[in-house]
Chain A
């Protein structure tokens, strides 16, 4: 089992390309992504592209492959500095991630770069164990909580072809949002 702490996107030595972010109703966002070989060269490049795109997008704390048009189970997360984050693992990319354990459920309002003008109230676990593969590395397990846990669940959903819209708490739990970018 490889530790996330010992993994860095910079160690891949790849220049990530900033890719356009796809918006709903693009079919790729509603399609379950394929499992990937975490050591495949195209997956390593995808990891670099996800991090590059995440870093140039204001306020973005996570980005999944379907959001840049690639139907694959790969996502990047970085909640560093977010006021609601407790446990923080910095910038990391996970492939083939699965939610192992989930507890301490709570409802929060989520937005998504791929659904820019709506938000929704979604119940998520406040404490999770996620297993997956690090690009270029081995299998890993992440135990986290609070905002990083919410971000992981949101991105795992993207890889399964699910948007927060698929999990909203009720008919009056979708809200419009003006985007100021």
Chain B
């Protein structure tokens, strides 16, 4: 694998104490380096700010005129370092290879799980899906008092036996004492 000091795609995480302006600060740093913030998700997890994003070297960044290409990973780390200097935020920067989204010929599904909180809900449900080649593409969990909620989107492989997956998930649900529902993610193309 070529170890190029200049990067095409960087994965960045920012986690820490929430305050107004974190997204503006991070986005300004990236724009200033000519990095194009592409896919990202940002939310609050139990009050902590959490940001995960992938950015690419861009020809159209604000301060790219002086540059001959994408900045090095170390440049991005250095530019983000002041944000983490007071200890309220933790940032990571990793180089990643561009990945095409895999095909999902077996269909797209939404999984909902809710019930009394207990250890191992995510582990058991996710393992049950993985055994059938189910690929979780999006997942959110929330603990609200004693209520635990998991909502996931997943792709099933071609020829997946959906009835069998339902049976497996029902067995998992019974063992955990939670309710599980798997339904097709219906999209109406208009």
Contact = CB atoms under 8 A, between A and B. Distances in A.
Interface of A: 59-62, 84, 108-113, 119, 147, 150-151, 154-155, 164, 171-172, 175-178, 180
A32 B185 CA distance: 31
Interface residues of B, number: 18
B187 A150 contact: no
A111 B104 contact: no
B186 interface: yes
A175 B187 CA distance: 10
B103 A108 contact: no
Contact of A151 (B43, B101, B108, B190): B190
Contacts, number: 48
Given A175-B138, A175-B153, A119 B187 contact: yes
B190 A109 contact: no
B188 interface: yes
Interface in B92-112: 101, 103-105, 108
Majority-rule SS of B interface residues: strand
B185 A111 contact: no
B189 A60 contact: yes
B190 A62 contact: yes
B140 interface: yes
Contact of B189 (A61, A155, A175): A61
Contacts of A84: 188
Given A175-B138, A175-B153, A178-B103, A108 B189 contact: no
B90 to A, nearest CB: 22
B138 A110 contact: no
A154 B187 CA distance: 14
Nearest to A64: B190
